[in-house]
Amino acid sequence: MDSTTASRIAKRFVLLALEKRRQYLLKMREEGLSLASLPIPRVREEFVRLPLSYAQQRQWFLWQFDRQSSAYHIPCALRLRGRLDQAALQASLEQLVRRHDSLRTRFVEDELGVAQQVAAAEHLPLKVTTLDEAALQGYIQDRVREPFDLASGALLRAELLQLGSDDHVLLLVQHHIVSDGRSMQVMVKELTHGYAHFSQGLPSPLAELPLQYADYAIWQRHWMEAGEQERQLDYWRQRLGNEVPVLELPLDRPRPSVQRFEGARLPLAISPDLAQAVRQLAQARQATPFMVLLASFMALLHRYTRQQDIRIGVPSANRNRVEVEDLIGYFVNTLVIDGQCQPTLSFNQLLDQVKATTLQAQAHQDLPFEQLVEALQPERNLSHNPLFQVMFNHQVGAPQQHQVPRDHGLDIEPVALAGETAQLDLTLNTHEDAQGLGASLTYATALFDHATVERLGQHWLRLLEHMITAPDQAIGDADLLATEERQQLLEQWNDTAHNYPQTPSIHALFEAQARRSPDATALLFGEATLTYA
């Protein structure tokens, strides 16, 4: 089937009435064909109302609940060193907004529900602010925390911070409802490519985009409504069952009644030897480093909680179609990877289990997380995330780095931001590149102290090393404690030898008082009294 025919079939499917779409999808399945193999068609011009994707629908709900929250703001700050052509930068920004409808979208609600409205391309103001280096991080955090109004649009804020004549920071802040991590990479790539050409008086090298995010949202809803939702939900219901356990990690403070999102990040060092051992075990078990690291994290959580059903959220880029790879929008989806852990289970057995579960989850990754939550209907609790409370985020390539061209006359590098948002209790972030493996832990500061997370991180590294070295050993037997920590727990804190005072016990003192004054009042409660006798 050529691409023209495939696009025509896909467009025809989307424009059918719901019942005919269901019949169409059923017929394709009977003939062994998959609608997922067809391209996403350009259909947005055929619709008066542009629907939200399922992920956007959840973001709208969260924003309605707390319009002042910055938990779902996505910041990016780029240090620009060298002679800056502000006109070329302005032209690059305006090209970016002109190319991507999502950056000109606002969300409106009426009697029919919520819909996207895309505004015409207009001039994007680039505010210029002069700062000194000492004030930079505080100013950025204040700007990142400023709330967005999803109903009015302007969901991309751009500001140029001038630190010196040849030293600037470009601050970009977006709301998650129109963007995700991959989108920020696309944005930086297009901005720097555009700047490289405009600063030399050259035309833009970027071709027109064949699709916009609204095309994806329409396709997703029409595909899911036609029966794909039920098919994938059947798998997840069978996989996860009706019980929705909450992971009971030992906390330093009681969980707030309403979840708070203040967080911090703790870097962890994975030695080159350990990184190589992870890759070797993955290859030997026909798995991936992602699966090895996820299994080790699952084992740690089992050791900490003694719970058998461990559930971890895993973000999926959800860009498995070439036509959406370079779009800016909210595509990322979350998968729930569960493991059944027992102290007697070997690491190899747990790894095989995680491998099988991951592959099955990836085969059913198109079901929006929001639909899974709605179907499983966990008990509503504002104090924690539904379905899972911890996440494992693995990136292949440099962590949070933005690849930029070098022919623009500027030295560009990302600025590490001081503030951190924790959307979950705990997230293990790992990244894999040609140089090895790296890791960090993001944690909710409302729940954990830094020292607690630092200790947990060291326990994970020690457990990982132990299990990589002896993968056939039971996960319950792997040693978590360093020599110093073991000595502290077993000797220093367990030293109970003490000379206690030889005074009489409480009950002996009570008996003596009763003998001395048996008729004296011993207890009062309202109008009632009791004597010692």
Q: pLDDT per residue over 117-132, tens digit each?
A: 999 988 888 999 999 9
Residue 408: the pLDDT is: 62
Residue 438: the pLDDT is: 95
* CA–CA distance, 472 with 350 (Å, rounded to integer): 10
Residue 399: the pLDDT is: 47
Contact 275, 475 (CB under 8 A): no
Residue 1: the pLDDT is: 63
Whole-structure pTM value: 0.84
Cα–Cα distances in angstroms (integers) from residue 240 to residues 108, 234, 312, 470, in the given order: 35, 10, 12, 30
User: Looking at 233-385, which runs of residues are DSSP E strands?
Assistant: 262-268, 309-316, 333-340
Identify the residue whose tokens are 């929001």. 370
* CA–CA distance, 301 with 225 (Å, rounded to integer): 37
The more confidently predicted of residues 263 and 31 is 263
Residue 368: the pLDDT is: 94
Q: Predicted confidence band at 522 (pLDDT cuts at 50, 70, 90)?
A: confident
pLDDT exceeds 60 at position 376? yes
The more confidently predicted of residues 341 and 515 is 341
Find the length of the chain: 533
The more confidently predicted of residues 319 and 527 is 319
Q: DSSP alpha helices (H): ranges in 314-449?
A: 347-363, 369-376
397: left (phi over 0), alpha (psi -120 to 50) or beta: left
Alpha carbons within 13 A on the beta-carbon side of 503: 4
* CA–CA distance, 371 with 58 (Å, rounded to integer): 10
pLDDT, mean of residues 187-199: 93
Q: Predicted confidence band at 506 (pLDDT cuts at 50, 70, 90)?
A: confident
Q: DSSP alpha helices (H): ranges in 159-246?
A: 181-198, 213-223, 229-240
The more confidently predicted of residues 321 and 20 is 20
Q: CA 245, 249, 255 angle in degrees (round to 5)?
A: 90
* CA–CA distance, 236 with 372 (Å, rounded to integer): 8
478: tokens are 């792997």
Contact 405, 441 (CB under 8 A): no
The answer to which of 200-209, 359-368, 523-532 has the lowest mean pLDDT is 523-532
Query: Which of 284, 77, 294 has the alpha carbon at shortest distance from 188?
Result: 77
- Cα torsion at 14, 19, 20, 23 (round to 10°)? 110
The answer to which of 213-227, 274-288, 469-483 has the lowest mean pLDDT is 469-483
Provide the β-strand partners of residue 263: 420, 444
Identify the residue whose tokens are 């140029």. 160
Provide the β-strand partners of residue 524: 529
Determine how many CB atoms are found less than 10 A away from the CB of residue 151. 14
Residue 403: the pLDDT is: 46
Task: Kindly state the DSSP code that residue 307 receives in the 8-state scheme.
Answer: -
Dihedrals φ, ψ of 75, to 5°?
-95, 155
Q: Predicted confidence band at 504 (pLDDT cuts at 50, 70, 90)?
A: confident
> pLDDT above 90 covers what percent of the chain?
70
Dihedrals φ, ψ of 397, to 5°?
110, 180
The answer to which of 173-182, 365-374, 478-487 has the lowest mean pLDDT is 478-487
Provide the β-strand partners of residue 306: none
Per-residue pLDDT of 76-92, as tens digits, reads 999 999 999 999 999 99
**Highest mean pLDDT: which range of 197-201, 382-386, 458-462:** 458-462
Contact 355, 291 (CB under 8 A): yes
Provide the mean pLDDT of the chain.
Answer: 91
Residue 351: the pLDDT is: 98
Residue 277: the pLDDT is: 97
Residue 328: the pLDDT is: 97
Per-residue pLDDT of 385-430, as tens digits, reads 899 999 999 998 754 444 445 556 789 999 988 878 899 999 999 9
The more confidently predicted of residues 400 and 230 is 230
Q: Predicted confidence band at 480 (pLDDT cuts at 50, 70, 90)?
A: confident
Contact 194, 405 (CB under 8 A): no
